[in-house]
Copies of this chain bind each other. A is one copy, B any other.
Amino acid sequence: MSSDAQILQTLRTAGSNGVSGAELSQKLGISRAAVWARIEDLRKLGYEIEASPHAGYRLLSAPDTLHADDLSWRLSKGRKIGRDIRVFEQTSSTNDAIEKLARDGVKEGAVVFAEAQTRGRGRLGRKWISPARKGLWFSVLLRPELPPHAATQLTVASAIAVRNAIEEQTGLKTEIKWPNDILVSGKKVAGILTELSAELDRIKYVLVGIGVDVNLSATDFPAELRTQASSLKIELGKPVARTELAAAILRELDREYCRVLAGDFAAVASDWEQHCATLGQRLVIHLGDRRVCGRAESLGEDGALLLRTEHGHLERIVGGDVMLEK
């Protein structure tokens, strides 16, 4: 753990009692002057830290910025996901940023957050609005020993993880729209973009890009999206702490990913089906030029949506643009 993370952890544990400079100095094995310098740096990052001769240092408030060390200490040791966390102030897209790491041979479980994305993307090449510090825009690098067609399982696992974490942190009732949208009151508050690099029979790496509209206001969305998209803040009526939510999502992702690797996708799929707004619905799905209509019947063992078409066939859907039939 870095000095910053140790200081923050110690201050948080001490709470209103505070910690003396001498204690911090001893605990971290650095001089009191060095402790002071670290505290000054944390203040510059927006941490409000009081220093008094009696109580020592006290953490009054933490800024709404993402801090890699701060996120790290909130996660359990031995985890796969989040063992390497990097926070960028701005990037074109976190999937682009993590792909660079993937190509450089970085291990799986690395996570890249960006406070803002200049060219955030959603599925089907669509733009993803990513204003600074208002959402969680991040990507996770995975290197599962799975064949390429099993990548859909990771999208399903990610969707259930994001859903669980949002419900845990906000109490909002969330649903999943197949394959990768998280809905609150029928409006999209989060999405997942899975990209993969593979040989024909083996995944080289998978990038799971996650976008959560945390504290966006209605005016942050383009007018044409406001009927379909929302944010946790809008739905809850108050802002949501991004760091806590980010840590909760990473914990849930780790849990669900380990279930997939252990061959227990059936359990993931079962959770998913419980929370899925798509199953049982009549859908229109656009697959490139093709249009398929039918009733969403169940989830295939590889995460595909099994659609009972108008003609009575069971069709396996792995993507496309999914809409409710009107």
Contact B319 A151 (CB under 8 A): no
Question: Which one of B123, B155, B199 lies within 8 Å of A194 (CB-CB)?
Answer: B199
A149 CA / B288 CA spacing, docked (Å): 15
The answer to whether the Cβ of A179 comes within 8 Å of any Cβ in the partner chain is yes
Question: Which one of B123, B155, B197 lies within 8 Å of A195 (CB-CB)?
Answer: B197
Q: What's the nearest-Cβ distance from chain B to residue A8, in Å?
A: 38
The answer to whether the Cβ of A231 comes within 8 Å of any Cβ in the partner chain is no
Q: What's the nearest-Cβ distance from chain B to residue A16, in Å?
A: 49
Chain B residues in 8 Å Cβ range of A197: 195-197
- Which residue in chain B gives the minimum CB-CB distance to A192? B200
Which A residues form the contact surface with B (CB < 8 A)? Answer: 123-124, 145, 147-149, 151-152, 155, 179, 193-202, 204, 287-288, 318-320
Question: What is the oligomeric copy number?
Answer: 2
Majority secondary structure of chain A interface residues (helix, strand, loop or mixed)? mixed
Chain B residues in 8 Å Cβ range of A200: 151-152, 155, 179, 194, 196, 318-319
List 11 A-B residue pairs with CB atoms under 8 Å apart, sorted by A's residue number: A147-B318, A148-B148, A148-B196, A148-B198, A149-B149, A195-B198, A195-B199, A196-B198, A196-B199, A201-B320, A202-B288
A179 CA / B147 CA spacing, docked (Å): 16
A151 CA / B197 CA spacing, docked (Å): 12
Contact A287 B201, CB 8 Å, known A147-B318, A149-B149, A319-B147: yes
Chain B residues in 8 Å Cβ range of A123: 199
